[in-house]
Structure 1
């Protein structure tokens, strides 16, 4: 197993975060019935109308898409897109940098 170091590790983490951000933005836009670009990643999702039913559905989507075991409180523990992307990026296994789309998660 090769562990990326230095600049390559940052690029891999950024690419992974970008892919998670893209996927999450698309999913949230469906649940919130908003265009992805209208969702400020620093605003709590509850302010956009994210309710418990949608939050549980998103948890199920995360489990299915990424193979994670997700607690139902995930969106309350990480209430913004930014905090959720950081958390997911930290818990997801590394993937090849070219396997995810690129977008700034800030």
Structure 2
């Protein structure tokens, strides 16, 4: 799988998780907005991080939302981690 495909898949996964956590339709989730603008609270972030861990098979700290506050930035970070040797 190439990097763009991996990043796009992760971005779509995060967007779906955000939509579910905020009870919004997926199509209303803008991946370039800061998560707090999408009404994602700290409780939702913990759940999203746990789900990402399960689905991606890597450790995802809930502080990811502060370090990478948009879905796009989070997807970039996670896709780079998955592609890194010795992840």
Residue 17 (str. 1) matches residue 12 (str. 2): no
Aligned counterpart, 1:42: 32
The structure with the greater share of residues assigned to helix is 2
1:33 maps to what in 2?
Answer: 23
Give the 3-state SS of the residue equivalent to 1:29 in structure 2.
helix
Aligned to 2:43: 53
TM-score relative to the length of structure 2: 0.87
State the structure with bigger RCO (CA 8 A, min sep 6), 1 or 2.
1
Larger-Rg structure: 1
Q: Unpaired runs of 5+ in structure 1?
A: 1-10, 95-106
Aligned residues: CA RMSD: 1.6
Equivalent of 1:73 in 51, 63, 76: 63
- TM-score, reference length from structure 1: 0.72
Aligned residues between the structures? 84
**Runs of 4+ in structure 1 over 4 Å off:** none
